[in-house]
Structure 1
């Protein structure tokens, strides 16, 4: 067996070097030599998500079509390929954010059967993103559907979030960002938050306690509010393929401001968050179910499990689907006028709740 020194010499010769100088990388140690003679360990390498070990579902969803849709997503891997971020790994930038692959797999890719046509092609999409935050969801959406987006309108009332949103390269120059809140009536509204750069700013919620995270939105300011119906008329859109709403308990108000478009059947899909924030306000799943099913939508619930990430049809309302305060839960619901396309040939992402 070769000694470490001999192995290092062979590796250096392979890289065309005879010795390690300060500032250079040692391919055997995966470290760099500092000027003082100490070694600095390099960051873990980035590998493409093309094998089952890099993300739990890729091995199970490892069909070529699915791999192509997430081929650009990268994760820092350990030497064995297990995709777990290391404690000493550097912070990920906009291109390599840990949340983007997660959102892609959990929320964006399962929309595929409802957005592609009968021939398997994705039509030019008009998308409205309410609660755009710092742009992670938009980045995930552009990773999957970027080649088919005709118009993308995003709304985010927090200035720091909007500034971060504008820095992401995934959709540079292709998104219209409106620094405003969206609700039932145009005007001004008071929004509550705990920090300028935040994911929990909310109009109705001054405190969010979920899965051990207790956020107190003890600061507030007035921000402009617009109504989606007015904005859609201004853009002249006759068809909206997707409205995504994630506004920390303000979803009902956003839907009230979309009434004309819903009545006119302009909207094909509405993806929105439901959970403990609605329960605390006295809102129920039945309230949302009746509103949207009354406009001809079918309701699907987001399901995340060990072997399955997808959307399951709620064929009928049941009180057991409600979220209780003592068992807090948050999940996405898809209201759609579309049936899953028979041309979809990817991994199974559509099921049934009842």
Structure 2
């Protein structure tokens, strides 16, 4: 099979397209013929060595993807062969991700892909959708799971709604019944956030964004899905309701975070920091089930017309796909592995 591999941390140039043996699934595992592989910021950061030291002599990157199960290991229902699936956390504790014609994952990390969903949609889920789900389910007064009506009466603020996680947060929150506000930096990103389903968009670079958000949510925002905590904390606290939650999954821009302890005591602020690698299998399984239900309901479409432009590369162009993500390409970057 053809696979992208790297043996040393470094820039995109360390990625090579090589022939490798087709892997065999072990107990509790499935083998998937990959159609589309999804690229996330964590993939290039891992390749570059910016997060943790490389664990294996050779690595095939990418956590997310979609394809068809073509073999199962002992203990897995043989009826899964031929099933269309989307994958998450493919490289968690493993050297082989989805940037290959075949990969092997734990059975529970291959989720049935609804018949109404494309492989490009399946490959766009994973990290963004599961992260968004976690951000929306950690508030003190719930909910702990998402379904239609679960967020009725709640106001959700999705920071950076034109990003992949922000896009998923908008879609999941709207599917669950919330009023959704998204902060954006300009007209084009406003268009994308509205296409994703945001009820209101606020340009944080113009006018008085606090007043604009408070006009929608006079009692304050219930949950904030935050991508740049250092840059946005003052705004977040100015619009957060008492006992509200700021769920932060990144700190884009790298601005240091300084917390006024008394201010947050008076608000009873709940800060939830999150990353999927250490969130635990129970939370991952719950999120995957809810995301699959949202996909079946048609609630998580992708593409320019749905607020998430897709930028695609062939498997041989995976290095260029990594460069695109590093350069901040808006939307989702995908690698087409098979026709």
> What band does the TM-score fall into relative to the shorter chain?
0.3 to 0.5
TM superposition score normalised by structure 2:
0.42
Higher relative contact order (CA 8 A, sep 6+): 2
Higher helix share: 2
